Amino acid sequence: MSENASVNAQDRPTPKNSTTPLPMQNILSVEKAQRMAEFFSILGDPNRWRILSALALEEMRVRDLAEAVEMTESAVSHQLRILRNTRLVSYRKRGRNVFYCLKDHHIFNLYRDVSEHLDEPEEEVI
């Protein structure tokens, strides 16, 4: 790395609510970067985000989700299958009903953080 391209510790990004820079050894491996790219490509569909936003509020059945996001039950089921396969949502059965929810707090935090980030005003570039 050239002298001009080097990054000083104080210039590296820091985790939210922290003053400690991210350690350089945390640079992603090629394999993990590939997995993350594939994970985020799944989230490239706005219908999946709408489903996640509904599930961030409460667990729901396919019928209720379809009504909430104004999609057919078949389309919602298809999207849920993709979201389940990538461990973004999970389900539980109660009798004949199947209830879907966000897989865990990581998924809720991802949804919340992206939503909040997009609601922040853009910084003026000088």
Distance CA 33, CA 11 (A): 23
DSSP designation for 43? T
Contact 113, 88 (CB under 8 A): no
Distance CA 103, CA 101 (A): 6
The per-residue pLDDT for range 15-73, each reduced to its tens digit, is 555 566 666 678 999 999 999 999 999 999 999 999 999 999 999 999 999 999 999 99
Domains of the chain: 31-118 (1.10.10.10)
Q: What is the dihedral of CA 48, 40, 86, 13, to 10 degrees?
A: -120
| CA pseudo-torsion sign 19, 25, 27, 33 | negative
pTM: 0.74
Q: Does position 77 have pLDDT exceeding 70, yes or no?
A: yes
Residue 22's pLDDT is 60
Lowest mean pLDDT among 21-30, 55-64, 103-112, 113-122: 21-30
Q: What percentage of the chain exceeds 70 in pLDDT?
A: 81
Contact 100, 65 (CB under 8 A): yes
Q: Does position 9 have pLDDT exceeding 50, yes or no?
A: no
Residue 21's pLDDT is 63
